[in-house]
């Protein structure tokens, strides 16, 4: 994906109308056990969430979900599980962000201002810690060195906490997608069976299923009424009726 295309995608993402099921501030209350799991086993959580975001179909996997220049060039088609494991361990931040972008693009989810402030504060703190480390290395002051170490520890703590909250947010959103909070708005209808020509008529659709090992019930129809036919012999008795002219052709008195 080119840089201009990536910027266009970011602008489109800002105009999404839907919201996350839970914001970053409420993720700990929404799913505390998973938030702890995402904090202490962050790469494992990122691996499982990406696979779940792909609906378990690893043939659709692309490195960093196609949002990075390296996407599609790492041999994902040959061994997607290994490539995903490498991504979540070596590029953990990108793996979390890629899963987030996938969910936002799929469900048209925007990021709230509060979430943007939290993520922006995390990035700013990391940049500030990096600047203090460079200054401490150049100046050689012990005070600045200690300050840079404190900032680095603080930025790491904020980074791990925010990533855990983000992954919990993704998990809750996919729980909503999979209908774990209630029935889905539009469930997939069951496959309908059509009556074929080789099936007996009338079909047994609509009748209760038979017990196991018993034949299906047959529809009973009343027998047609018996019709009384005349006795054998022709012509029948009493034919022709009285007053009917005698047989013969042409009839008497016929003039050509």
Per-residue pLDDT of the chain (256 residues; tens, 9 = 90+): 555 666 677 667 777 889 999 989 899 999 999 999 999 999 999 999 999 999 999 989 888 887 777 777 777 888 899 999 999 999 898 999 999 999 998 999 987 888 889 888 988 998 898 898 888 888 887 888 888 889 889 988 999 999 999 999 999 999 999 888 766 544 433 443 333 334 443 444 444 454 545 555 555 555 556 555 555 555 556 555 555 555 555 556 655 5
- 3-class SS of residue 228: coil
pTM: 0.65
Domain positions in the chain: 3-177
Q: Residues 6 or more apart from 27 whose CB is under 8 A from it?
A: 35, 165, 166, 168, 169, 172
What's residue 203's pLDDT?
Answer: 44
Sign of CA dihedral 12, 13, 14, 15: positive
What's residue 147's pLDDT?
Answer: 86
What's residue 173's pLDDT?
Answer: 94
């Amino acid at each position: 994906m080119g840089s201009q295309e990536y910027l266009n995608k970011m602008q489109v993402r800002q105009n999404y109308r839907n919201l996350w099921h839970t914001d970053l501030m409420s993720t700990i209350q929404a799913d505390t056990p998973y938030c702890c799991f995402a904090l202490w086993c962050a790469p494992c959580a990122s691996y499982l969430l990406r696979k779940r975001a792909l609906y378990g179909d690893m043939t659709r996997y692309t490195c960093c979900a196609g949002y990075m220049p390296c996407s599609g060039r790492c041999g994902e088609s040959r061994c997607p599980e290994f490539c995903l494991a490498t991504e979540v361990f070596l590029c953990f931040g990108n793996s979390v962000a890629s899963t987030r972008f996938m969910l936002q693009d799929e469900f048209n989810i925007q990021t709230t201002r509060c979430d943007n402030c939290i993520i922006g504060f995390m990035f700013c703190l990391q940049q500030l810690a990096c600047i203090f480390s460079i200054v401490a290395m150049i100046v050689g002051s012990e005070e600045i060195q200690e300050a840079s170490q404190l900032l680095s520890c603080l930025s790491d703590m904020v980074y791990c906490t925010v990533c855990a909250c983000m992954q919990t947010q993704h998990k809750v959103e996919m729980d909503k997608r999979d209908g774990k909070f209630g029935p889905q708005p539009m469930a997939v209808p069951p496959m309908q069976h059509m009556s074929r020509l080789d099936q007996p008529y009338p079909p047994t659709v609509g009748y209760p299923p038979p017990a196991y090992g018993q034949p299906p019930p047959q529809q009973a129809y009343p027998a047609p009424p018996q019709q009384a036919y005349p006795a054998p012999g022709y012509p029948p008795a009493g034919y022709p009726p009285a007053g009917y002219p005698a047989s013969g052709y042409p009839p008497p008195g016929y003039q050509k």
